[in-house]
Structure 1
Amino acid sequence: MKILFFLFLSVLPAAAAQTISHDLRVSLSPADGSLAVTDRVSLPAPAEEFVFTLHRGLNPSAKGAALEELPAEAAARYGINGSTAALTAAYRVRPPRPAASFTLEYAGVINHPPGEQAQEYARSFSETPGVISPEGCYLSGSSGWYPHFEGALVTFRLEASLPVPYGAVAGGLRTRTSAKAGRNTAVWEAAKPQDDITLTCGKYTEYTRHEGPLEYQAFLRSPDPELAARYLEATGKYIKLYSNLVGPYPYGKFALVENFWDTGYGLPSFTLLGNKVIRLPFIISSSYPHEILHNWWGNGVFVDYASGNWCEGLTAYLADYLIAENRGKGRDYRMAALQKYADYVSGGADFPLTEFRSRHSSASEAVGYGKALMAYHMLRGLLGDENFRLGLKRFYADNAFKTASFSDLRASFEKTTGPGRLKPFFDQWTARPGAPALALKSARVTRGNDGYDLEFTLAQTQDGPPYDLQVPAAFYLEGAAEPRLKTLPMREKEATFHYSSPLQRPLRLEIDPEFDLFRRVSPLETPPTLSRLLGASKPLIVIPEGEPGEPWRGLAAAWTKDKANLPVVKADTEIDALPSSSSYWLFGGENLLARDFEAALEAYGAAFGMDTITIENRRFPREGHTFVFAGFNPADPAHSGALVVSGSTDKLQLLAGKLPHYGKYSWLVFDKNMTSLATGIWKTAASPLAMNLAPEAPAPGPYPARPPLAWLPSVFSENRMLADARALAAMKGGRAPGTPGHEAAASYILREMRKAGLKPFAGYGIAEDSAPAGQRNLVGMVPGGSDKERYLILAAHYDHLPAKDGAVFPGADDNASGVAVLLELARHYASQPQARTVVFAAFDGEESGRLGSKAFVSGLPAAMRGRMNAALNLDTVGRLGAGKILALGSGSSDKWVHILRGAGFVTGYDYAAAGDLDSSDQVSFIESGIPGLQLFSGPHADYHKPGDAAEKLDGRGLVKIAEFAREMADYLAGTSEFITRPAGGQSPAAAQPSGERKASTGLVPDFAFQGKGVRAGEIAPGSPLYKAGVPPGSVIIKFNGVAVEGLRDYSAELKKFSPGQKVSVTYLSGGAETAVDIELAAK
């Protein structure tokens, strides 16, 4: 079955009555677009006649049997659809006596250039029913290149012969290859039933990897061993994932095949990707696993289209959604699916899942993919993860290589629940069109002798009868760190519920806050974004009257090149009121309607001053900047409005071309050259399904963490990294230089480095035994290949603070975690050498002013420093959680931003290029002219405290850090050019401890913040800022009267003061500037 970016192109009948075997011998001539075929066709039982279709113009003949072409009306009597009559013809073969096989010979040209078809099967892709050309060939069941029997599955043996250097790829296993007389021959065999035979050819470079009985292949149109290695590794990773989750992989091989035009086809045991698609960095971790999973769903269990396509939603749930869930973005994915349904499905566009065949519009996608995956999500919630996984395995085992329906799916899950128990669920969500809609009508808290009682009423507001729902609810209680979650059964159009709390007062109520229920969401539940406006038909644009409007007229004129969808442009003086039932744009801060729009944005924390605009506590000057804001139409939040203001109007016309690329955002800031400076998404101001029950009600979340249905496999071991970190954190007395614990830690690291197979680096031993205290670095390497005289440094410091007043500092996060990741990377690269030599350095003395790394760099000959591409430092990486991977030091090369972006694309992990700090060992390299970067999981209250313990480490986060670092290291240690060097690099100064600040404000900085100032991620309870009432999220912009541009300034100013001194702190919060006086505490 061919799947075009997960879209089925053909229809199977409800019951595949028979399986037909083909023994094909095919000779292809790419030069003239022709083929010659002999096909011995075998059927399950003898028959008096055989009726099939074949591409027109191939002049078939049947050995020892009569063959005739059938007219359309005769073909229809055999169930053959006449819609393909222009491409194929129907034939009837009559042997002299009933037979179970016959041999067909035919030859001719099949050459339909891509793009010839009027129908587009997927976004941005050309399509062809079949092509044989000098660039390559593509022949599928819809090509009519082999005799197709209506309603039958196929098995086959396919022997394909082509002139050198062409090769052929098909489904099934390749059982033989040969090259002689200037021709390449390959035999492909599929013993299990399939619904299609697809054959491709091209001038391929082949790469292969074996894992047990399975063979993974990559056929690329040009040599690219690095790309092939990535895909082969990913193939093994996802086949392992789905074999464990669903059942054994149904085929003996999976092949990645590069096509000669842009495609995204999923086929039995291989995928056909275009040369642009295949090199997109995110494809390997997004669309590619979806393609692989289709070998179970769609190409392993076939779809009974007559009763509805269950396959696309299930594949999307177990591929696209599961990956998002692994990345901590499951809620966002569900919200987006519900928002698409609300945006695109209305009126006659809705239909039940039992009528979904394939995606052909945004509405059909929102139902067939979005509603379906939400139905599977609710089924999972109903059964629990373990029973849901068991049901998936049973469904596959019961129906492999058979045609299956929603009823078959239900029957497999009912083996756990009991027969008939899930029929109401499936009937409601697959056979009924539409969606429920919920309203929170009232809520009140009373206190009695038994404690607090929260009474609230929910209503189903959709037309028609009520749904049988399991409604998630979150209850926020006074003094509780997390909301309490409860599921409410609701079978009526309106129901009143009670929630009792003996001691803790309910403060806030939320209904389905994590979007677990399929329903029609209110626009107010999701933030306004530009995407709601950018696709509007003939949008209204309102500009200032007269001379102030002239620059904006140019922007309106450049708005679209679509002459059929030009905007309606009016002056602000022509508008009495904004449209109540459509979207609109307001141009210019001078616009008479702008002030009301700005006032509405204050609910999101925006503040509009005469000279500045503050957005989420980031202050921007109006001059030289252009701002774009999305908001709701106050008359109807189903529609949106936007405001554009600018203090640099000379390049406004450039904005029209840029905006379509920023649809997912709520606000944008551009500089005077129209280069993007900042983007963001508003936080939902007030959901109609949430209610504050007291003035001191908390902000939404955080919700309890949920594990994904299955964890994605990794080449890195969570357990091994946690074991390393625990061992280092458990060293008796800590890891301060000169202590027994430090010596034991060094011995442990040395043992693991040698076990991994590291070699001594550049004449140095792995351990510098005679080094002064704080300079005992442990350095090994994996020699490179083609460029082994150039280097990448991977580093982590292993020292920590000395014991103090009887308290031992375990330093689990700082920096046993970094060493654990370093050792895991060493194990990986020891078995996967790169072009350049990778050096692994466990540095000493970081806590004493980078003593170890300074000594290392200063001891390198100048020539060797010049051969070092970069240093990637792992420091404090053990508590990632749901946060972003932070990169410190990105200013040391203008290439870091691109390398980080690539790593983010491939892994899918969020990251932030944070401010530069003189904080860790990468600085020693930067000072010497070598680009350096630190990966960091973020600050916390246990930093340099006895509470930095191993049990608080995030094992999954360590895996994410390792995977992210690996993507960066692969690039830096590969064959790419050296990245640019930092400006003004100097030899490292003499190894002297840097000044250490002794005072504290209680601010835990948000390193991901990229505006001016320092944003407080947290405020430590009882700290000076806490006592002064400074809330988390505030941005410090001045410290004792000195402007604070970033973390470096803040740290430098704080070092000037001692505990007990009084200072003033100026901060932004809620768009307002406030100054407070505090008395500094001891660090």
Structure 2
Amino acid sequence: IGDYPYTKFALVENFWETGYGMPSFTLLGEKIIRFPFILHSSYPHELLHNWWGNSVYVDFNTGNWCEGLTAFMADHLIKEQRGAGEEYRRSTLQKYSNVVTPDNDFPLKDFLSRHDGASEAIGYGKSMMMWQMLRRKIGDKKFVEGIALFYKQQKFKTASFNDIRIAMETVSGIDLKDFFNQCVNRKGAPEIAIDRIISVKEEGYFHNILKLKQVQKYDAFDFNIPVSVLTDAGLETFEFTMNDKEQTFEFDTKSEIIKVAVDPQYDVFRILNPAEVPSTLSKIWASNENIFVLPVEAEKKNLDIYKKFAQAWKDADNDNFTILFDNEINSVPEDKTLWILGFENKFANEFSSEISKYKSGFANDSVNYDGKSIKKTNNSFIITKARKNNINKQDIFISLSNEASIAGLIRKLPHYGKYSYLAFSGEEPTNIAKGQWDVVNSPLVKIINEGNTDVSMFEKREPLAKLKPVFSEERMMNDIKYLASKELKGRGIGTPEIDMAATHIAKEFKKAGLEPIGDSYFQEFSHEFDGMGRIILKNVIGIIPGKDEKFKDQVVVISAHYDHLGLGWPDHHKGDEGKIHYGADDNASGVAIMTELARSLAKSATPARTIVFLASTAEEAGLIGSRYFVKHVKEYFKDGVFANINLDTDGSLFDKKLMVLNANTAREWKFIFMGTDYTTGVLTQVVENDLDASDQVAFIEQQIPAVQLFTGATSNYHRPSDTPENIDSKGLVKVATVAKEVVVYLAERKDPMPFTGSGAPAKPADDKPKTARKASTGSVPDFAFKGEGVRVGSIIPGSAGEKAGLMVGDVIIKLDGKETKDLRTYSTLLKQYQPGDEVELNILRDGESKTLSLVLGAR
């Protein structure tokens, strides 16, 4: 769009909690300025204001165009680059739909600045959507050219919406007067509904008729409406011009239609139907008439907490609140929002029942959110849902763990308006869970015929602008393809091929600029294996030396094991004996990410602490390499290890959250990864269970904080099918991005990070291969599950579990009458059985107890 117009940009702390963009600097409040996410939210927004508002000035007589344009080209663009553009636009439309009414609506030409929710929804949200619609209308290339021309023509001048229109017309050759007139001078928004769709089979094709309506009370709007059509042959997209209250569109498809979605990616500025979006707290905050419902049956201590919360919120909020006991309400008032306080409340069970469709609800000692369990003890819960008989009305449930958390909740909750459910821990309190309910019955999606309806209805698009990637997807995949090649035969212990892998890693470490740990990149040692004799093993180690004399000998270790199973030792499934186990995901993926981190950090980092890159050997045989490193680390670094980030099985992220295993080993882990969620846009799932998962256990045994970044087990785990073509290459970049944030933070952290895990095992580790289970239920566990039992994450097709009727989401609570409290207990119990043994599984399915009889299969 043009060069930065000033010689500097300063971020200055302000005594007001707001953002003020000035030429060449911005003022941010003392609280917001300390949050890590401002680098990807407030900071780029205020930086862009040096173009929009501070070098092209706003003609306030014709409306403030710069806030919406800045939101579109900064906030929205960042979300779009992270694959969350649709979510951002939906939230924008949802906010407008929730807070703007006929009484407080106004056209963009009258927007000067934000002063309440409605003015923000119009001046920022409606304006942002206007630019999205214009971009779709003239195309990305012409939009960018038009913005650049506008900047060139109007730099250091006062400009209006009309000046932007002229620039866009110049580059596109399209008359945009009607478009700008409607967007800028008219208030309101269209509401769209599907009237009907008919599909007729013709010779060689299908002829389809779609009738849409604009159901708002006022006159029709003129806009382009995108339609996605899923057919037997795949996804097709169409765009129609709608300028009447009722309109029929005809189009042909080569194959039969399965599903139709109107504006599935939220490209049109419009009022959303309540059924299109999840219930969110923003609608609760916008409610003017409210009733706090206190539980009359609550213990005095809990009742006092609820009363204090209700009064404190009432004092802080300008809306109308009445405080009543639950036994004073016989029927739910249609015009008031209920604030249901406490699990003891007579309305709590019904509330729990109504959120069961989202795999959520209240148990005796926990709350389930989308199948994940959170203990009630010392935690607070905030949940909203649509009212059963009136989707336009929402109610809220709140449970508080202690009185001390009230002030923090009242301060924090208004900032969580886009969420459907929240959980907070402790007195501060700290957010530990948040999310939105799934949309299950959108009126703008119609299923026409049977077929695979789970296919995404989103058209693949590129963001308006791309950042140059810090990490190379291609380089990482090349590393994986070599390490998991036929030439390296599975990198088995004691083979020439594992030595070839070690040599490759050492060469890449040297090429990246890492220093060796001593005279060599290899840490060689020998180990006695049953039936194999004494074998020479080697860890591969490179370092970035620390620069701070106080901290350089207290190191941060990033690790990944490079061995695998070779031809099936020490583990293999029945029928896989003698076959190459390629080990692409486990763990060529982790090695590739670690090597790419070395390439990036060796060039850019000047850490206080030394960063150690450890490619460990013999993990599959019992963490032998990592245990040897930990035992001898003080020979190299006198203060030992500060923390460990272990990368293992990181090639299958796709659209899942990145799991952080063993996060109970330091209190700080969950806060660190909350920060990376904001700064990277890659969502993580912190798992605080004790898991004997990988090399991080060698560090945990010595009471060193350590976690594993893990993308989840797949059906290819420890099988010959674990090959490079199954790797999510884009996911590698995401994992690397998170890992870099964490490693750099730890390398600079001055405060200690005390170990909080369960510590070393009762008996010393013997460095022997783990006893392999021979029998299997055919299920893959959900490692992120926090409740008691083992939740089924997936079922292997054709397995014992599938035959017995085991389903994804089932929680296994007993195996042959023995409790399976956690994954470790479950795995230990299974080792007692053989393939062909018949067992009885006690499971929980959607909160109900069931019993299954299952004949165990072979692993």
Do they fold alike, i.e. is TM over 0.5?
yes
Write the distance in 1 (CA, Å) between the matches of 2:182 and 2:8. 39
Tell me by how many angstroms 1:818 deviates: 1.6
- 1:728 partnered with 2:469: no
Picking from 1062, 1067, 1077, the partner of 2:838 is 1062
Deviations along 1:305-345, one digit per CA (max 9) or x if unpaired, are: 33332221111112111112233322221111011111221
Give the structure 1 partner of residue 657 of structure 2: 884
Q: Is the 8 A contact 1:555 1:655 kept in 2?
A: no
Further displaced range: 682-691 or 623-632: 623-632
Deviations along 1:514-538, one digit per CA (max 9) or x if unpaired, are: 3222100122222223443345445
Tell me by how many angstroms 1:726 deviates: 3.5
Q: Is the 8 A contact 1:580 1:635 kept in 2?
A: no
Write the distance in 2 (CA, Å) between the matches of 1:362 and 1:711. 31
Further displaced range: 509-518 or 792-801: 509-518
Q: Secondary structure at the match of 1:349?
A: coil
Q: Is the 8 A contact 1:780 1:839 kept in 2?
A: yes
Give the structure 2 partner of residue 539 of structure 1: 290
Give the structure 2 partner of residue 56 of structure 1: none
Aligned residue identity for 1:940: T
Aligned residue identity for 1:528: S
Write the distance in 2 (CA, Å) between the matches of 1:671 and 1:310. 41
Give the structure 1 partner of residue 445 of structure 2: 690
Give the structure 1 partner of residue 611 of structure 2: 838
Q: Secondary structure at the match of 1:777?
A: strand
Give the structure 2 partner of residue 827 of structure 1: 599
Report % sequence identity. 40
Picking from 546, 552, 559, the partner of 1:784 is 546
Tell me by how many angstroms 1:590 deviates: 6.5
Change (3 A) 1:441 1:974: same
Q: Is the 8 A contact 2:782 2:790 kept in 1?
A: yes
Give the structure 1 partner of residue 571 of structure 2: none
Give the structure 2 partner of residue 601 of structure 1: 355
Further displaced range: 700-709 or 1013-1022: 700-709
Picking from 99, 110, 117, the partner of 1:344 is 99
Write the distance in 1 (CA, Å) between the matches of 2:16 and 2:356. 49
Write the distance in 2 (CA, Å) between the matches of 1:855 and 1:805. 29
Give the structure 2 partner of residue 745 of structure 1: 501
Tell me by how many angstroms 1:841 deviates: 0.9
Change (3 A) 1:856 1:397: same
- Listed as ranges, the matches of 1:630-779 within 5 Å are 630-634=384-388, 636-643=390-397, 658=409, 661-662=412-413, 663-664=416-417, 665-667=419-421, 680-693=435-448, 698=453, 701=456, 703=458, 706-713=461-468, 715-730=470-485, 732=487, 733-761=489-517, 763=518, 765-768=520-523, 771=526, 773=535, 775-779=537-541
Deviations along 1:464-519, one digit per CA (max 9) or x if unpaired, are: 332233323344556x7x7654434433212344666665562x443323322210
Deviations along 1:357-397, one digit per CA (max 9) or x if unpaired, are: 22222212111110111122222223343343333333333
Deviations along 1:202-253, one digit per CA (max 9) or x if unpaired, are: xxxxxxxxxxxxxxxxxxxxxxxxxxxxxxxxxxxxxxxxxxxx33333333
Deviations along 1:1011-1052, one digit per CA (max 9) or x if unpaired, are: 333333433333333344444344333344433333333333
- 1:332 partnered with 2:87: yes
- 1:405 partnered with 2:160: yes
- Listed as ranges, the matches of 1:351-362 within 5 Å are 351-362=106-117
- 1:461 partnered with 2:215: yes
Instruction: State the structure with more CA Rg.
Output: 1
Change (3 A) 1:593 1:923: closer
Write the distance in 1 (CA, Å) between the matches of 2:200 and 2:638. 72
Aligned residue identity for 2:97: A
Q: Is the 8 A contact 2:565 2:718 kept in 1?
A: yes
- 1:800 partnered with 2:571: no
Write the distance in 2 (CA, Å) between the matches of 1:954 and 1:782. 29
Tell me by how many angstroms 1:774 deviates: 7.3
Write the distance in 1 (CA, Å) between the matches of 2:495 and 2:783. 33
Write the distance in 1 (CA, Å) between the matches of 2:395 and 2:128. 31
Write the distance in 2 (CA, Å) between the matches of 1:736 and 1:424. 69
Aligned residue identity for 2:851: A
Q: Secondary structure at the match of 1:305?
A: coil
Give the structure 2 partner of residue 812 of structure 1: 584
Q: Is the 8 A contact 2:490 2:564 kept in 1?
A: yes
Tell me by how many angstroms 1:949 deviates: 3.6
Deviations along 1:583-617, one digit per CA (max 9) or x if unpaired, are: 12234666565565455434434466789876544
Give the structure 1 partner of residue 310 of structure 2: 559
- 1:516 partnered with 2:267: yes
Deviations along 1:708-730, one digit per CA (max 9) or x if unpaired, are: 32333454444443443344334
Write the distance in 1 (CA, Å) between the matches of 2:786 and 2:38. 28
- 1:528 partnered with 2:279: yes
Q: Is the 8 A contact 1:857 1:988 kept in 2?
A: no
Write the distance in 2 (CA, Å) between the matches of 1:262 and 1:590. 38
Q: Secondary structure at the match of 1:813?
A: helix
- Listed as ranges, the matches of 1:887-902 within 5 Å are 887-902=660-675
Change (3 A) 1:1029 1:424: farther
Give the structure 2 partner of residue 385 of structure 1: 140
Q: Is the 8 A contact 2:310 2:323 kept in 1?
A: no
Q: Secondary structure at the match of 1:788?
A: coil
Write the distance in 2 (CA, Å) between the matches of 1:1055 and 1:894. 33
Q: Is the 8 A contact 2:297 2:345 kept in 1?
A: no
Picking from 771, 774, 788, the partner of 1:995 is 771
Write the distance in 2 (CA, Å) between the matches of 1:269 and 1:588. 50
Q: Is the 8 A contact 2:838 2:855 kept in 1?
A: yes
Change (3 A) 1:410 1:853: same
Q: Secondary structure at the match of 1:638?
A: strand
Q: Secondary structure at the match of 1:819?
A: helix
Write the distance in 2 (CA, Å) between the matches of 1:711 and 1:607. 41
Deviations along 1:397-431, one digit per CA (max 9) or x if unpaired, are: 343333333233233333443142x3333333233
Q: Is the 8 A contact 1:511 1:689 kept in 2?
A: yes
- 1:265 partnered with 2:29: no
Write the distance in 2 (CA, Å) between the matches of 1:498 and 1:1037. 54
The higher-RCO structure (CA 8 Å, 6+ apart) is 2
Give the structure 2 partner of residue 963 of structure 1: 737
Write the distance in 1 (CA, Å) between the matches of 2:649 and 2:722. 10
Write the distance in 1 (CA, Å) between the matches of 2:71 and 2:385. 31
Give the structure 2 partner of residue 491 of structure 1: 243
5+ residue gaps, structure 1, are: 1-245
Q: Is the 8 A contact 1:263 1:274 kept in 2?
A: yes
Give the structure 1 partner of residue 797 of structure 2: 1021
Change (3 A) 1:717 1:502: closer
Give the structure 2 partner of residue 936 of structure 1: 710
Aligned residue identity for 2:338: Y
Change (3 A) 1:319 1:1010: farther
Give the structure 1 partner of residue 322 of structure 2: 568
Write the distance in 1 (CA, Å) between the matches of 2:376 and 2:18. 46
Give the structure 2 partner of residue 42 of structure 1: none
- Listed as ranges, the matches of 1:64-75 within 5 Å are none
Give the structure 1 partner of residue 532 of structure 2: none
Structure richer in strand, relative to its length? 1
